[in-house]
Structure 1
Amino acid sequence: MAKTQIPASATESADPDSASEPGPEDREAAGRVLTLASDALAKLRDTLDGRFSQAVDAMQATQGRVIVSGMGKSGHVARKIAATLASTGTPAHYVHPGEASHGDLGMVTRGDCLLVLSNSGENQELGDIIAHGKRINTPLIAITSKADSTLARAATVLLHLPEAEEACPMGMAPTTSSTMMIALGDALAVALMERRGFTKDKYRELHPGGRLGQMLVRVSDIMHPVERVPMVKRDTKVPQAVAQITASGFGCTGVGDIAGRLIGVITDGDLRRHLGADLVSRDATEVMTPSPRTIAKDALAGEAIAQMNEVDPPVMVLFVVDTASNDPQAPVGILHMHDLLRAGFA
């Protein structure tokens, strides 16, 4: 069997610095698409009215889920909007209108809210899901460019897309219109996030995997608890401090005052620097490094990495404190560089 010949240009490096300029026809096509999209989004922004807030009201008030539906390209956009809503604190899922007519109408229940997308507003496949929503008194938010369409007339809230030219040379393939739908879906999701007071912690709960989840891991999630924090009193002799360092496995021990507040740290390096015949008779305060580095338990793990690496050589251990407590200098945990590495931080 003859091998397919791949053009040399297709195997070249994807280095953006080495990429050649697009051809004039390609640049013209890209420019037309982006310009039409930009103009349409500006028009959409300027034509938003009180119905947008009514749509947000309906979605926020729902006791169930936001059921997003659409056919064809509108269906692909609807899937994206449903995913964005669900990942930002608004329970939502996509229902295919064709499948809805064959049993999936059971996914739409009382207490839900329908968000239906159709550029023309006349997709026959949407009829059953719209009718079902009416039977169970489900609010219907419609996104369409045809204010006199069947979908628009059935809507509880109509989000009308302004008239805009499709970028397709034939003016038929959904391009500009689908861009407006995606942007309007994002606007709804963000408005709901802000109304709900959706925080970074809530966001992390819904994004535990991947880079997003990692970025929002807090020190308190991966630190060792207070019971594991190695501490000795300020008048502890060095041999007892060494025993604590050995037993803890962290390569150090904190030094506390009479109230348990952290006043210093003793590391293997501190011991080497104070080697001498009288080392065993010294108190902890005589060999410790005063004012050790600490980090708040609510800080992001990425902040801990940055703090460890801002000195040379890097610090391997940070004592964790609760800045909101009555005694913010009392350790509530300890964090080792290895803990951060195990959590996926380089």
Structure 2
Amino acid sequence: MSHHAKDLLTLAKAVIDTEIAALAALPSRLDDDFLHACETILACQGRVIVTGMGKSGHIGNKIAATLASTGTPAFFLHPGEASHGDLGMIVNGDVIIALSNSGTSEEILAILPVIRRLNVRIIAMTGNPQSSLAQAADFHINTGVDKEACPLGLAPTSSTTATLVMGDALAVALLEARGFTANDFARSHPGGRLGKRLLVHVRDIMHTGTEIPQVPPDASLQQAILEMTRKKLGMTAITTPNGTLLGIFTDGDLRRSFEKGQSLHEQPISALMTVSFRSINAHNLAVEALNLMQEYAITVLPVIQDGSVIGIIHMHDLLRAGIA
């Protein structure tokens, strides 16, 4: 490794250490104002509006998104745009979270008098409790850092990280207080992997009706294989005329039958089928079907209701649905 490369690694480690030190100081800042901020947001009948300039604005965008996805209606408002019409987005009953490391952001201070007349509560996150913004706010959360990780001490680095983490602390505290659940999270993220895993049920993706491969117990092996080939699920159910599931016969069972050298043509499928098999209910989550398949190294499950097969779910169905 070159001397120059070592210098770069040393500097990178110093940046990380500086930011870790900044975060380590945050727990001691969790005071009554943090609690009052949580209580104010929980009691809010409107929305939480996050605002900040520059790098603080980027952090504010993320905090608003995190709040919104964890049960607290929120959006980001650019303070520069606020004085050009966007203040109309703020209504009585909203709560403002204003971010500024210095607490002297002119764009935010310029709109404070108008915000005050709207009778909204203001929570400030700054690095200076004596600043104009901190003093004007109803509650102040201190996100101050001893130093920025930038060697020049100029680029917002440690300060924006501290603000981001404090925003996460606020969002998660509110999540817990609201009793927000994994299912609630999934409903606000229906297109994401977690949403699919928590919202898609077996009934939503299983094969039903004529797609279900099934033969009677007196069917021959040839008939069973033809049914498996037609339905393309690698198995067939063996059912009585009234639909009761007696057993299943899979590609694996066919292979094992050949390996045992059984007299296959002389026996009905009932003599070759598997009677001890895993199954699942239609109301189960699809991810539960995936867990069963992975646990028992199988790729298909019959879906059972009152002893009858009402569907079949295959690993391919889980893959197509984005569950696996």
User: SS state of the match for residue 320, structure 1?
Assistant: strand
Asked if 2 retains the 8 angstrom alpha-carbon contact of 1:69 and 1:116, the reply is yes
Specify the alignment match of 1:298 in structure 2: 284
Cα distance in 2, alignment partners of residues 217 and 230 from structure 1? 24
Pairing partner for 1:334 from 294, 312, 315: 312
Which consecutive unaligned segments of at least 5 residues does structure 1 have?
Answer: 1-18
Distance 1:25 1:230, change over 3 A: closer
Q: Spell out the pairing of 1:49-128 with structure 2 (5 A cutoff).
A: 49-128=31-110
Task: Return closer, same or farther for 1:106/1:275 CA change in 2, 3 Å cut-off.
Answer: farther
Is contact 1:222-1:339 (8 Å) kept? no
Mapped to 2, the partners of 1:330 and 1:22 lie a distance apart of 71
Q: Are the equivalent residues in 1 in contact too, given 2:238–2:247 (CA < 8 A)?
A: yes
Q: Which residue of 237, 240, 253 corresponds with 1:254?
A: 237
Gaps of 5+ in 2: none
Post-superposition CA distance 1:210-267 (Å, at most 9, x none): 555455564436432765684879x843269849767766454435689977552134
CA contact (8 A) 1:144 1:161 kept: yes
SS of corresponding position for 2:26: helix
Over the matched positions of the two proteins, sequence identity in percent amounts to 43
Cα contact 1:82–1:93 (8 A) shared by 2: yes
The answer on 1:156 being equivalent to 2:142 is no
Pick aligned residue for 2:123 from 141, 164, 182: 141
Equivalent residue runs for 1:164-179 within 5 Å: 164-179=146-161
How many residues matched?
A: 316
Residues 76-107 of structure 1, C-alpha deviations (whole Å, 9 max, x = no match): 11111111112222221111001011011111
Deviations 1:261-281 (A, max 9, x none): 7552134665784764543xx
1:23 is paired with a residue of what secondary structure? helix
Q: Does 1:237 align with 2:215?
A: no
Give the TM-score normalised by structure 2. 0.80
What displacement does 1:181 show? 0.2
Q: 1:246 to 1:73 in 2, by over 3 A?
A: closer
| Structure 1 range deviating more: 92-101 or 190-199 | 190-199
Q: Classify 1:262/1:94 alpha carbon distance in 2 versus 1 (closer, same or farther; 3 Å).
A: same
What amino acid does structure 1 have at the position aligned with 2:86? D
Distance in 2, matches of 1:246 and 1:275, equals 21
CA shift for structure 1 position 128: 4.4
Q: Which moved more, 1:43-52 or 1:90-99?
A: 43-52
CA deviation vs aligned residue, 1:118-151 (integer Å, no higher than 9, x gap): 1111112113442333222111111012212221
Bigger shift: residues 260-269 or 290-299: 260-269
CA distance in 2, matches of 1:228, 1:180: 59
1:7 counterpart residue number: none
Shift of 1:38: 1.5
C-alpha distance in 1, partners of 2:275/2:41? 55
Which one-letter code corresponds to 1:320 in the other structure? V
Q: Which residue does the alignment assign to 1:265? A: 248
Contact between 2:49 and 2:96, CA under 8 Å: does it hold in 1?
A: yes
Query: What is the CA distance between 1:340 and its match in structure 2?
Result: 2.2
Q: Structure 1 residues 261 and 35, CA, compared in 2 at 3 Å: closer, same or farther?
A: farther
1:71, CA displacement in angstroms? 0.8
Question: 1:20/1:90 Cα in 2 relative to 1: closer, same or farther (>3 Å)?
Answer: farther
Once structures 1 and 2 are overlaid, which stretch shifts more, 95-104 or 115-124? 115-124
Higher RCO by CA contacts (8 Å cutoff, separation 6 or greater): 2
Q: For the aligned residues, what is the CA RMSD?
A: 3.6
Give 1:160 shift. Answer: 1.8
How far apart, CA to CA, are the structure 1 residues paired with 2:103 and 2:151?
A: 23
Please tell me whether residue 288 in structure 1 is matched to residue 273 in structure 2.
yes
- 1:128, 1:83 → 2: CA distance? 25
Q: What per-residue deviation string (whole Å, max 9, x for no partner) do you get for residues 150-179 of structure 1?
A: 211221221122452222333232222111
Q: 1:95 to 1:251 in 2, by over 3 A?
A: same
Residue in structure 2 matched with residue 343 of structure 1 by the alignment: 321
Say which SS state the counterpart of residue 109 (structure 2) adopts.
Answer: helix
**Does structure 1 retain, via aligned residues, the 8 Å contact 2:56–2:101?**
yes
Q: In 2, Cα distance between the equivalents of 1:68 and 1:214?
A: 29
Structure 2 distance, partners of 1:149, 1:265, is 73
Provide closer, same or farther for how the CA distance between residues 298 and 48 of structure 1 changes in structure 2, counting only shifts above 3 A: same
